[in-house]
Amino acid sequence: MKSTIGTIVTLTLAGESHGSEIVAILDGLAPGIPVDEAFIASQLALRRPQGAGETARREEDAFRIVSGVLDGHATGAPIAIVIPNSDVRSSDYAGFSGLARPGHADYAVHARCDGFEDLRGGGHFSGRLTAGIVAAGAIALKALRAKGIRIGTHILSCAGVSDEPFAVDPSAQLDRLEGLRFPVLSDVQAQMEARILEASRAGDSVGGVIQTAVTGLPAGVGEPWFASADGVIANAILSIRGIKGIEFGSGFALAGMMGSEANDAWSLTPEGPRTVTNHSGGVNGGFTNGMPLVFNAAVKPTPSISIPQRTVSLDGAREDQIEIGGRHDPAIVRRVCVVATCMTALAVCDLLALRFGTDYLR
């Protein structure tokens, strides 16, 4: 098994939900890139559960950088970040150990690991591991900002409530999203939170769609065919557990358009060639085209629900019924936003390193 992503700029995740700590190792950054611990902490705070109906598990995310950074700058050696798990309650899971929780990875992991897996709290496959993605991705995000490349994510829809989508030029909208705990562009937070609480009270959960934009990317980033800009980002985003789909630009809606509608007409602007619309989501032929890179990702409803569900034992010997207690989010869509932003930052750094070398970000 392997838990590493990236070709040049790589992230390795270690740890389990109920282990002593999560470890993220970020490798491939050029020496001299600033590492701002306060900024990392601010991004981790956005991922932390804190609002309407969110899990009562309280993790301080008091991380330590144990290698690869000296006097606030990357040394060029791998950066290892350790994030302790301080609020672990394995007893929450005792009642259904040995059963496959529907919607969770339990049965598939058991098949993969031949019974040697640690499934306490979801083990290595838990959403808790995304703290490592955020900590490492925050370093990439800050390095990209210094080059004028910005990334932001908002909740495009949740439980039937829709937010305003990104405009062709999303710059002003990215400003508005900066630091928002509940990242939406229009006045829909109360409505979304009410629907999430409603689901929670019914012992159920809801999903949603998130939308990410990357601005300031030069045209021509991506590799032909197999490390295309959209392919690398899709792999990164689909690595976030609970995300089940991704579309770039107008995505699946393109399938129902006429060519004359779908094509993005080119025009000359003071900044160079730009398209009038952005149905392609900033990618043509696998390369960035100078427009904002925009994608939507589908976040499924949180699998842990307290409604009784039909299941089987992990050994496949019997059918059973499962009721999941413990501490869970009725919707993870808010918390996934910062994870998607940070994961995108890592993928973009990797793509830039493939195109220009790692010194591009210095």
Residues interacting with ligand FMN, by CB under 6 A? 55, 104-105, 122, 125-127, 130, 240-242, 300, 302-304, 328-329, 332, 335-336, 339
Give the nearest distance from C-beta 275 to ligand FMN in angstroms. Answer: 32
CB closer to ligand FMN out of 229 and 240 = 240
- The CA distances from residue 17 to 118, 160, 285, 292, 332, in Å, are 9, 31, 39, 35, 16
CB closer to ligand FMN out of 16 and 264 = 16
Give the nearest distance from C-beta 171 to ligand FMN in angstroms. Answer: 27
Give the nearest distance from C-beta 104 to ligand FMN in angstroms. Answer: 5
Contacts of 44 (CB under 8 A, 6+ apart): 61, 63, 83, 131, 134, 135, 138
* Residue in the block written with tokens 């700590």: 21
Tokens of 16: 């389990």
CB closer to ligand FMN out of 59 and 264 = 59
Give the nearest distance from C-beta 78 to ligand FMN in angstroms. Answer: 24
The residue ranges of DSSP E strands in 221-264, in sequence order, are 243-248
Type of residue numbered 5:
I
CB closer to ligand FMN out of 108 and 253 = 108
- Residue 70 belongs to what H/E stretch? strand 69-70
CB closer to ligand FMN out of 149 and 333 = 333
CB closer to ligand FMN out of 169 and 198 = 198
What are φ and ψ of residue 268, in 5° steps?
A: -95, 130
**Residue 151: beta bridge partners?**
214
CB closer to ligand FMN out of 104 and 154 = 104
Give the nearest distance from C-beta 242 to ligand FMN in angstroms. Answer: 4
- What does the longest C-alpha to C-alpha distance in the chain come to? 68
Is 72 exposed, middle or buried, given 0-12, 13-18 or 19+ CB atoms closer than 10 A?
exposed
Quote the CA–CA distance of 16 and 38 in Å, as a whole number.
25
* Helix, coil or strand: residue 144: helix
Residue of this chain nearest to ligand FMN (CB atom):
127
Give the nearest distance from C-beta 74 to ligand FMN in angstroms. Answer: 26
Give the nearest distance from C-beta 236 to ligand FMN in angstroms. Answer: 13
CB 192 within 8 A of CB 337: no
